[in-house]
Structure 1
Amino acid sequence: MTESHFHFSEEKPLRWGIIGCGSVAEKKSVPAYQLIPEFKVHMVMRRDAERVQDYAQRHQIARWTTNADEVIQNPEIDAIYIATPPDTHKLYALQVAVAGKPCCIEKPMSPNYQDSLVIYEAFKRKNIPLFIAYYRRSLPRFLKVKQWLDEGLIGRVRHVNWQKSASPNEVDLNGGSNWRTEEKVAPGGYFDDLASHGLDLFNFLFGDIKTANGVALNQQGLYTAHDAIAGSWLHENGVTGAGFWNFGTHHRVDKVEIFGSEGSIRFAVLDEAPVELENTSGHEILEIPHPAHVQQYHVENIKNHLLGKCEHPSTGKTGLHTSWVMDAILGNL
């Protein structure tokens, strides 16, 4: 492995460049980077000049451009956050790896496992830090679930089940533009964007999934990507799992239930909902709010990882495995 030449200390802020400043960058992510005293968001890129200039002004970012190369190659930029749709993650990530800069990539890591593997290997060869924005691994709500599991409060975990369903939205019904439903960008449709969060979280809570399979189809014919997926899997510790993700149902549901030998845990992956513990000692319901900028703890963990204070829970390695699980369920392996 090549020795990395990246160094970071608290004495000088790490200057970030942002590639892509759409909806995820408005509140969820980029403002979280700006909250960290040791970080500075120095430059932002989007192909639309008017929109990127407006974004930079509203978020008080010094520099903006419509050319990603100007961000990646800029000697005043130390690290890169890629917040574009998944079909360009590989393109930009490989350029960042060549430039030798730490990188965080929005989830999913790429539209498929093979592209994710290429990204992972490029950073691994040069020993450059790579993070994937599966920020639920860092959120207190889900860390509470992990604490309950680690403390054995529901005994031996037997099975996890997840239902995520929703009605088609107006944009999809009217044939509007949406990268989440374009097969070339997100083959699994909303599964790629939404289910990736939960499957990654399950790897975190129960250990890596070692086998997975499923069926994926398009039931509604509204767009080119899949809209109905059902899958099952087995974790390395013997926990079984099953889920279905359907985006043509009447009711919106986001429900996870973990079944143990002595109790159960319930929560939602994506919706605002309490975490519930039920066992022989009783029934506990906790409301644990997310921070205003939901990636805050994820970004704090990036800082601490780069300072050598901790291992980030969502790295290129863990993101790669989630890509493998998704492809296995979609039948792409």
Structure 2
Amino acid sequence: MTQTYSAERPLRWGIIGCGNVTELKSGPAFNKAEGSRLVAVMRRDAAKAEDYARRHGVPRWYGDADALINDPEVDAVYVATPPGSHLDYALRVARAGKHCCVEKPMALNAPQCMAMIQAFESAGRELFVAYYRRSLPRFNQIRQWLDEGAIGQVRHVHWTFSRAPLAQDLAGDYNWHTDPAVSGGGHFVDLACHGLDLMIHLLGSISRVAGMAANQQGLYAAEDAVTGSWQFASGVTGSGFWNFGCQVREDQLVIHGSMGRIECSVFDAHPLVLRRTEGVQRLEIAHPENIQFFHIQNMVRHLNGEIVHPSLGRDALQASWVMDQMLSSFRRQVSQRV
């Protein structure tokens, strides 16, 4: 008989890697979502895990991942560590017969993602990925406009993202986000996956991809400049530009249609803009205090059989595959130099 999760019998979560990303974005939402409860956390530094648990009212803390995974009071595990460890932890969770949510990007590359998917399918458990934009009201509004034909037939989507280099990178300090062995690439992999996954969610699967990447600044080993183009299975085309050495920060996603266009940002809280011949509509839709709240609530609803969660493992796989294609030539050049 399928377990139904409720306030009386919540889905009991454990977090592996209760670092900064869990302080506000996700951690508190596991207790705010209906039918959900955070019961255990883990960090390799057990003192930090204990501190997190005390501040957030979590009953148990661990310094060992297997102890949390095998805790009989834990039903599901949220892996909030860097991508390089996602595969290992996820496979351990699958072997324990528990549900899992991993942070984004899903893993270092698409083959690792597929290995995770297969493990959970074999175990008969669910694998979710924290592409929480798929569950946010802000982007659900865009999907509603598209479904209603507000801009007619979609023709093309373009995303521009640029920003100045981080002080940490300029100083030459270690940053795991730019260590390909830990993150899968550079800031492109860490950030572009969000927007690419969002576009796939809004416009469907991508069938063809091309891209070029470069290391223009020499601040770290990973790419810092990427351009890409692609085609969705529907025939809609797409393009993107990402650069982490520019003077001006820009984050603009534009969906062009036969009767108008939609403008938004992926990360910034700018208004949604719908432009048509008859006029311009601007909507302000605020994010929840804990930005993963709706994502977490939807995981409970999925497990209760109420909905299909919008960000399952097979959904998230494609963003990793697209980034692999865009970075393939750059990665090959780097490996040849090494």
- Asked if structure 2 preserves the Cα contact closer than 8 Å seen for 1:186 and 1:225, the reply is no
Shift of 1:281: 1.9
Residues 1:168 and 2:149 aligned together: no
Match of 2:52 among 51, 55, 60: 55
Aligned counterparts, 1:137-148, within 5 A:
137-148=134-145
CA distance in 2, matches of 1:214, 1:226: 12
Equivalent in the alignment of 1:103: 100
Residues 1:9 and 2:5 aligned together: yes
CA distance in 2, matches of 1:178, 1:318: 28
Q: Deviations 1:179-202 (Å, cap 9, x if unpaired)? A: 111121223311111100000001
CA distance in 2, matches of 1:169, 1:233: 29
Match of 2:30 among 21, 30, 33: 33
Aligned counterparts, 1:83-94, within 5 A:
83-94=80-91
- Asked if structure 2 preserves the Cα contact closer than 8 Å seen for 1:213 and 1:330, the reply is no
TM-score, normalised with respect to structure 2: 0.95
Any idea what SS the aligned residue of 1:194 has?
Answer: helix
Any idea what SS the aligned residue of 1:184 has?
Answer: helix
Equivalent in the alignment of 1:327: 324
Aligned counterparts, 1:169-184, within 5 A:
169-184=166-181
Equivalent in the alignment of 2:243: 246
Residues 1:214 and 2:249 aligned together: no
Q: Deviations 1:125-158 (Å, cap 9, x if unpaired)? A: 1221110000000001111111111111111100
Shift of 1:258: 0.9
CA distance in 2, matches of 1:280, 1:188: 42
Shift of 1:272: 1.4
Equivalent in the alignment of 1:268: 265
Change (3 A) 1:103 1:301: same
Return structure 1 stretches of 4+ with deviation > 4 angstroms: none
CA distance in 1, matches of 2:15, 2:238: 36
Letter in 1 for 2:177: R
Letter in 2 for 1:235: F
Shift of 1:326: 1.4
Letter in 2 for 1:308: G
- Asked if structure 1 preserves the Cα contact closer than 8 Å seen for 2:113 and 2:317, the reply is yes
Any idea what SS the aligned residue of 2:177 has?
Answer: helix
Match of 2:276 among 257, 267, 279: 279
Letter in 2 for 1:15: R
CA distance in 2, matches of 1:148, 1:104: 29
CA distance in 1, matches of 2:100, 2:323: 22
Letter in 2 for 1:266: E
Q: Deviations 1:51-85 (Å, cap 9, x if unpaired)? A: 21111111111111110000111111111000000
Q: Deviations 1:214-245 (Å, cap 9, x if unpaired)? A: 01121111112111111000001111000011
- Asked if structure 2 preserves the Cα contact closer than 8 Å seen for 1:159 and 1:258, the reply is yes
CA distance in 2, matches of 1:26, 1:15: 18
Residues 1:155 and 2:152 aligned together: yes
- Asked if structure 1 preserves the Cα contact closer than 8 Å seen for 2:11 and 2:300, the reply is no
CA distance in 1, matches of 2:184, 2:69: 28
- Asked if structure 1 preserves the Cα contact closer than 8 Å seen for 2:136 and 2:287, the reply is yes
CA distance in 2, matches of 1:225, 1:21: 26
Any idea what SS the aligned residue of 2:182 has?
Answer: coil
Any idea what SS the aligned residue of 1:15 has?
Answer: strand
Match of 1:288 among 285, 289, 293: 285
CA distance in 2, matches of 1:318, 1:22: 26
Any idea what SS the aligned residue of 1:277 has?
Answer: strand
Q: Which moved more, 1:75-84 or 1:44-53?
A: 44-53
CA distance in 2, matches of 1:187, 1:101: 26
Letter in 1 for 2:46: A
Unmatched 5+ stretches in structure 1? none
CA distance in 2, matches of 1:62, 1:147: 41
Equivalent in the alignment of 2:335: none
Equivalent in the alignment of 2:18: 21
Letter in 1 for 2:44: R
Residues 1:115 and 2:126 aligned together: no
Equivalent in the alignment of 2:336: none
Shift of 1:6: 6.5
Task: Provide the aligned C-alpha RMSD in A.
Answer: 1.3
Letter in 2 for 1:241: G
Shift of 1:49: 2.2
Aligned length: 329
